[in-house]
Amino acid sequence: MKNKILSLLLILAFFLSVFPAYSIAEAKSAQTEHKISPAEGEYEEGTVLVTIASPEETSLTREGAASFDQDIRIREAYDLGDADVIAKNRQQKNFLSDKTLYVSEVSSNTYSTKELMNKLDRKAYVVSVEPDYIQNK
């Protein structure tokens, strides 16, 4: 009886140790192939809102032309305080504990909204990128 329980525990431990590594690798490979596009709705073409969690200001949180691409301009940037408020679990909370959450309005006369979203989504510290939807009252 003890041998059966021990065998089952070993098999369970094996599956639990393999699954997280597989899912992390799968998520990273899917992320590199992933192209984002605007959801349906009316938005200002060539303008996006970028959410950033970083330990200090970046080129996406300073107003003016972006240092990595002169065709991209940061119109406004807002400091929203501690980034750990967006954490969904303890591991994320620990990771975000030394970071500040920013939202920047970013625009370009050269890139479309879709191109801007795909270009900025790959930048370090970027949490999300979405079109600047027009709000109707």
pLDDT of residue 81: 93
For residues 8-30, give the mean pLDDT.
Answer: 46
Domain boundaries, the chain: 1-34, 43-133
Better-predicted residue by pLDDT, 41 or 102: 102
Place of tokens 């620990």: 94
The fold adopted by the segment(s) 43-133 is Alpha-Beta Plaits (3.30.70)
What's the whole-number average pLDDT of the chain? 80
**Confidence band, pLDDT 50/70/90 cuts, at residue 51:** very high
Q: How many Å apart are CA 106 and CA 46, to the nearest integer?
A: 8
Predicted TM-score of the model (pTM): 0.68
pLDDT of residue 135: 75
DSSP character for 66? Answer: E
